[in-house]
Chain A
Amino acid sequence: MKLRIVILTLVLAAISLSAYAVNPRDMKFPDLTFNPPEPTRFVTDNGTVVYFLEDHQLPVMSVSIMFHGGSAHDPADKIGLADITATLLRTGGAGKRSADQVDQDLDFVGASINSQAASDYLAMVMKCLKKDIDLGMGIFADMLQHPLFDTAKVSIELSNRKDAIRRQNDEPGMLTRRIFYETIYTGHPYGYFPTLASTDNITRDALMACHKEYYNPDNAVMSITGDMTLSELKELLNKYFGQWPKGNKAITPPPMATMQYKPGVYYVRKDINQANIRMGHLIMTDKNPDRHAMDVLNFALGGGGFTSRLTGQIRTSAGLAYSIGSYTFYRPEMGSFFALCQTKAETMGQATQMMLDIITKVKDSGITQEEMDMAKESLINSFVFNFATPDQIVDARAIMEIGGFPPDQMKKDLEAYKAVTLADCNRVAAKYLEPKNMAIIVTGAKETFDKPLDTFGPVTDVPLDIK
């Protein structure tokens, strides 16, 4: 760097330090009292649960629908079916409109419809200006009830999906993520990812069967908000969804996931100058009552950003990583806990050891009262952000309903966070964190690492062939 005369700028600044009007550190605020607007809930004649919130702030409408089902329900030889079906509902034509006509009509008015399969539910979202609601709702309803699955569009989608699979190892973060789930969910649908072969097994008939099985009104929850009254909405729903026949199908959930992998290191060879590390294990389902204590604990461990131990020690104090943290991802058939970071190859071993040590220490000795207070205050004070916009309010209710939670689950969650004690945190730390049973995925070039991989357990090489 350019040589300059050393001026002790900061020392001079310190001398001129002026008095503080109010010290932010000492500012105290009362708890926020907030009763979010309560959406209207009703059930249509053909069995769809609807949440609706009137909102006249902007001349817009947001309409979502969710279904039980999802990619965890894919047949073993057709992984990817649910997501491809979801895409083709959007892109394959609907009712009297060809695929291209649907695109043109939506694009012309700046309306959007997105459709996707998550692992445990299916979701489709339509957004449009209020003035275009008849067009938007009409197309949305046709996609759900009368999809055309245009053969040309089906073949383009399948071909593009295969191209995407060929590119699945390009980006180290996404690669590491995939290998992590494939490993910890060995033998379970949560660990299945589409392959060239599974994509080749998917036919137009399979898409139609998937649609018939899951996209039924009595399997659906809608969340709607926007510039409309309840009676206008009911009329609209009756017009576009009134004739939608019930499916009368019970959707069987996938089996519960159990630990089938060998703890240790899973090495993914990639010629890069940074190691991508993700370590973790199965933890608990989304209905486990220990979930709230676990959230508080994880906040202090690695979920609470700069306030957490992982970030404080590995990023702030050691400068080893930019992105570092730990996460809990609760799912109906068994969730996961994981910590991740990316660090230069020469500090792979140092960072991995620190992560393991920090997790082990929390398991063995728990967290402090101060850490717990910080986590609880943050979770409680930021709870209002679950209700900051009308679509968040209604969508949250639909997600709870589809997940099988009671209607007042959000309130219960808040109460549960308030009730968590230090003893709860430390009990769940000891019970659920399993640093000795982790799958540790390391992506990078091992000859550049500072420590041999077997420092952290038996090493399995992960092949990257595209199948």
Chain B
Amino acid sequence: MKGSLPKLIWPILTAVFLTGAASAQDQMQIPVQQFTLPNGMTFLVAERHTAPVFAGYISVAVGSAYEVRGDIGSAHLLEHMMFKGSQNIGTTNYPAEAILMAKEDSVWDKIDRARQDLIYIRLNQPEKVETQQKYIDSLKTVLDTLAAQSSQYVVQNEFDRIYTRNGAAEFNAMTGYDRTSYFVSLPSNRMELWFAMESDRMKHPAFREFFMERDVVSEERRLSVENNPESKLYEQLIGTAFIAHPYQIFWEWQSEENNLQRRDLADFFKTYYIPQRITVAVVGDVKLDDVKKMAEKYFGDIPAGPRPEPIYTVEPPQPGERRVDVEVEGSPAVDIAYHAVAFDSPEQAPFQIISRLLGDGRTSRLYKALVLDKQLCLDISVGAFPGSELGDNFPDIFIIFAYPKEGVTTADVEKGIYEELDKLGSTPVSDNELQKIKNRLDADFIWGFYSNLGLADRLATAQNQAHDWHYLLKMRNNLKAVTADDVMTVAKKYFTPENRTVATLIPKVTGGAQ
């Protein structure tokens, strides 16, 4: 970790975003410059001097798909813990704090073991249950005492405070399945602050206030999944569509998340947060030379790590239609999923075109047929899950979300949807309709560069996912090359009953004033 900095070699690649055909869009030039530190950390820089601000975006090639059974939730909880500061920020005395944290961890181990023992005590020595329960409660009291002792060293939320005081905007992070990202926008004269802060938490993380944050994450799950009818339906859909691949878990399971420990996160961090898996994009009012200097100064001394094992799990082919009913307090809805392909598949581009044909805009086929013409649905939309812009690292699912109108059955809605899907597989799409989709892709592609953060996100994500951000441009060309035949072939191959999973929301009425 310490020692003199190695000599750096700067392979600089300068590229210019240019669209294909000769058109007004050729005027759009956003130079993207790239360099990689000797430890393998890649930086992308797009200078844009419109306003004295910049966006910093860090993409790490790990997400919840990498969690192992028993530790489900670690990627997300780790993302939360990264906001707790470092061994420097957020504390007045880290060594003293670290000793208390280690004590907390060992008390938690005792609680964990005592709870397991409780099962057998209940079975075999019921008279001792109360004593055991009291023992567990006493351990919890110790945990509270240790937390109180730690708090004397904690400078609460100092990491956030420093950014906030310096005018940060859009300061947040996201845990996906294949990637976790950390981002913020700052006034451009604060660029060095960003490097200092981000490198600090990457180099010297400190998972303080751990047990409280675990509870916070549980509340996030209650809010986002358990008490939201659409998410509940979605969770069951995904869990039913996948039987093997880690994409099957929509959110963490509270039972596992509630038992995560600091060392689980430390292991996860050490394994995956290595420079070769980290991509950084800096977009805005910055200069390449300054970014290079700071990258070397702040991130150059992180050692490269051993390459972790990839995810080997392949979802087995689905042998027949799967259906699941979800009874919750809510209104009727039906989600229909089909297994699809990974981002690197030649069928990714046709799938993206199909997604647009079916669900993008008021003239899209499903909206036109089911909402405007047949009036079976109040709304309908399509999406991929997990749903990255370029496609997902592993074969994902393509989903249709439909909301039936009052008095319309989900069976009628399903029938209407299958008719449209069958049409895609049997009749070629007209040139005009295909051209519409390509025009819309063009427009969205260009608008995607409007904000610093949007551009930083796309560059960092593409580089992290495909190991070359130019894949953004390659994908665009792939999309333009999709033919009516490609659409028919892919539709026919994938939109089959045996490849389908249907989740239906059945309203359960328990509400109302009591």
Contacts and interface: CB of A to CB of B under 8 A. Distances in A.
Interface of A: 1-4, 6-11, 13-18, 20-25, 27, 29-30, 32, 34, 36, 56-60, 91, 100, 103-104, 106-111, 127-131, 156, 159-160, 162-164, 166-167, 169-173, 227, 267, 269-274, 276, 304-307, 311-312, 315-323, 342-344, 374, 377-378, 380-385, 387-391, 461-465
A83 to B, nearest CB: 16
B196 A389 contact: no
Given A60-B447, A130-B24, A172 B227 contact: yes
Given A8-B102, A164-B378, A382-B167, A104 B160 contact: no
11 contacts: A11-B95, A29-B190, A32-B189, A57-B28, A270-B329, A273-B226, A306-B83, A318-B212, A320-B219, A322-B216, A384-B52
A265 to B, nearest CB: 13
Nearest to A62: B450
Given A305-B164, A321-B216, 13 more contacts: A8-B98, A24-B200, A29-B189, A32-B187, A58-B449, A109-B443, A163-B378, A306-B161, A306-B164, A322-B219, A344-B222, A384-B51, A385-B167
Nearest to A385: B169
B179 interface: no
A13 B193 contact: no
Contacts of B42: none
A319 B219 CA distance: 8
A223 to B, nearest CB: 15
A390 B50 CA distance: 9
Nearest to B189: A29
B-side binding surface: helix, strand, loop or mixed? Answer: helix
B514 interface: yes
Contacts of A382: 167-169, 187
B219 A24 contact: no
B446 A167 contact: no
Interface string B174-189: 0000000000010111
Interface string B429-455: 000100110011111101101111000
B375 A170 contact: no
A59 B28 contact: yes
Contacts of A270: 329, 511
Contact of A1 (B50, B261, B405, B443): B261
A3 B109 contact: yes
A389 B167 contact: no
Interface stretch (B133-141, B201-209, B237-245, B390-398): B201-209
B222 A342 contact: yes
Interface residues of B, number: 119
Nearest to A343: B219
B402 interface: no
Given A10-B207, A129-B446, A166-B406, A56 B229 contact: no
Contacts of B227: 172, 272-274, 276, 342
Given A10-B207, A377-B167, A34 B440 contact: no
A342 B511 contact: no
Contacts of B102: 6, 8, 10-11
Interface in B211-227: 211-220, 222-223, 226-227
B406 A319 contact: no
Contacts of B363: 100, 103-104, 107
Interface string B328-356: 01110000000000000000000000000
A173 to B, nearest CB: 8
Nearest to B196: A24
B253 to A, nearest CB: 13
A13 B99 CA distance: 11
A103 B373 CA distance: 14
Contacts of A4: 263
Interface string B125-168: 00000000000000000000000000100001110111011111
A156 B301 CA distance: 62
A388 B451 contact: yes
B297 interface: yes
B23 to A, nearest CB: 7
Nearest to A130: B24
B101 interface: yes
Residue with the greatest number of chain A CB neighbours at <10 A, chosen from B2, B24, B220, B266: B24
B362 A103 contact: yes
Contacts of A27: 192-193, 196
B264 A274 contact: no
Contacts of A130: 24
Nearest to A321: B219
Contact of A317 (B212, B214, B218, B220): B212
B196 A110 contact: no
B304 interface: no
A111 B219 CA distance: 40
